[in-house]
């Protein structure tokens, strides 16, 4: 009877029910990220720069800690304190630790995307500095939010920091959209008109849009639900998911370089096969010039060889800057000389 008297008045569907769904979904996303990390290590573990490999592993380790901080409080509530309903309002310190871990994951991933902006903009200090300012503002606001929550022992106390949470989430939303739109603009400006180059750039734009939209929309959902449904855990659900999306989007972007490389090499091999076969088919005519009996055919072949070679040369020069921005300069492959 004493337990029933002490039981808090909670709507479990909109609070702990939502947190349980968050646990399931974030666990699945963490697993997907771990599989992508394994793939990344196998494909690029010995070729990527050491600092990039270190940052990727650090992001995964922080995200793993973030997942542990999600599991631990819910395990305590659902298992350890199963027969103690009064403990449902208790706020485990691990729950607030998710805030600081998410801040580091978000900022590190955005920092890697900033290197792309830096390279694609040709070291534009104003453009890159403006985006850096947003990333710093996001990190600082999230740390302030953590400072406000640190020391809370009851879920009802979270209402005291809700305004800071709204500010931090709004900055995350703006930062994601600005980074994505900036990268799309820079990549679109890098289009050269060569089919081989534009195919790679179009796919990079697609990956960038997907990354920015997924994380940006999730942050926007956290902001909207925080305003519209402050007495539920729905906004916490989205805040838990955001770091997992960052990890998966980053690894998907890095691992996609293998696919882009195969696309590029397929294009190169096609162009080289035409040129090589042409040279083998008409060795004497190309060296000695056109004959009167076949005035058009050798002329057509000669122009085709020169055009393909020039297109490959110009396209490769243009791709070097774009590929270096996405960290793929060592993996995209280069056309072999004829």
Scan for tokens 């940052």, then name that residue: 55
Angle value at C-alpha 73, between 69 and 75, nearest 5 degrees: 110
pTM, full prediction: 0.73
Neighbour count for residue 151 (Cβ, 10 Å)? 10
Average of pLDDT values for 189-196?
72
Residue 66 to residue 23: CA distance in whole angstroms: 11
Q: Tell me the domain boundaries of the chain.
A: 2-260, 265-325
Nearest by Cα to 301 from 269, 279, 271: 279
**pLDDT at site 251:** 92
The region of weakest confidence among 190-194, 199-203, 229-233, 319-323 is: 319-323
Residue 226 scores a pLDDT above 50:
yes
Residue 2 has pLDDT above 50, yes or no: no
- Mean pLDDT (whole number) for 163-192: 87
Residues 102 and 239 sit within 8 Å (Cβ to Cβ): yes
CA angle in degrees (0–180, nearest 5) for 201-243-245: 45
Q: For residues 190-211, b (16+ Cβ closer than 10 Å) or e, as one string?
A: bebebebbbebbeebbebbeeb
**Around Cβ 233, how many Cβ atoms within 10 Å?**
23
User: Under DSSP, is residue 190 helix (H, G, I), strand (E, B) or coil?
Assistant: coil
User: Topology of 2-260 in CATH?
Assistant: Rhopdopsin 7-helix transmembrane proteins (1.20.1070)
The answer on pLDDT for 325 being more than 80 is no
| DSSP H or E segment with residue 57 | helix 50-75
Give 260-274 pLDDT, tens digit per residue. 766 666 544 433 333
Distance CA 95, CA 118 (A): 35
């Amino acid at each position: 009877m004493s337990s029933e008297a002490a039981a808090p008045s909670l709507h479990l569907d909109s609070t702990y029910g939502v947190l349980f769904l968050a646990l399931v979904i974030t666990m699945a996303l963490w697993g997907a990220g771990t599989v992508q990390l394994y793939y990344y290590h196998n494909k690029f573990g010995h070729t990527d720069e050491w600092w990039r490999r270190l940052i990727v592993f650090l992001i995964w380790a922080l995200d793993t800690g973030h997942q542990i901080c999600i599991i631990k409080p819910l395990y305590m509530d659902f298992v350890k304190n199963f027969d103690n309903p009064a403990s449902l309002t208790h706020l485990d310190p691990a729950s607030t630790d998710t805030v600081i871990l998410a801040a580091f994951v978000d900022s590190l991933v955005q920092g890697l995307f900033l290197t792309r902006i830096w390279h694609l903009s040709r070291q534009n200090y104003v453009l890159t500095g403006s985006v850096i300012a947003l990333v710093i503002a996001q990190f600082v606001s999230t740390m302030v939010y953590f400072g406000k929550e640190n020391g809370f022992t009851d879920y009802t106390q979270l209402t005291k920091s809700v305004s800071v949470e709204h500010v931090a989430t709004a900055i995350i939303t703006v930062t994601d959209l600005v980074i994505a739109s900036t990268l799309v603009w820079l990549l679109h400006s890098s289009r050269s008109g060569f089919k081989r180059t534009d195919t790679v750039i179009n796919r990079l734009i697609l990956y960038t849009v997907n990354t920015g939209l997924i994380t940006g929309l999730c942050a926007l959902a956290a902001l909207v639900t925080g305003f519209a449904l402050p007495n539920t855990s729905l906004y916490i659900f989205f805040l838990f998911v955001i770091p997992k999306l960052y990890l998966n989007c980053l690894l998907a972007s890095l691992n996609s370089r293998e696919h882009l490389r195969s696309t590029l090499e397929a294009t190169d091999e096609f162009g080289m096969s035409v040129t090589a076969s042409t040279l083998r088919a008409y060795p004497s005519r190309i060296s000695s010039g056109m004959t009167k009996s076949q005035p058009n055919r050798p002329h057509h072949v000669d122009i085709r060889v020169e055009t393909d070679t020039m297109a490959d040369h110009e396209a490769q020069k243009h791709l070097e800057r774009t590929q270096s921005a996405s960290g793929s300069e060592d993996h995209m492959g280069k056309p072999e000389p004829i």
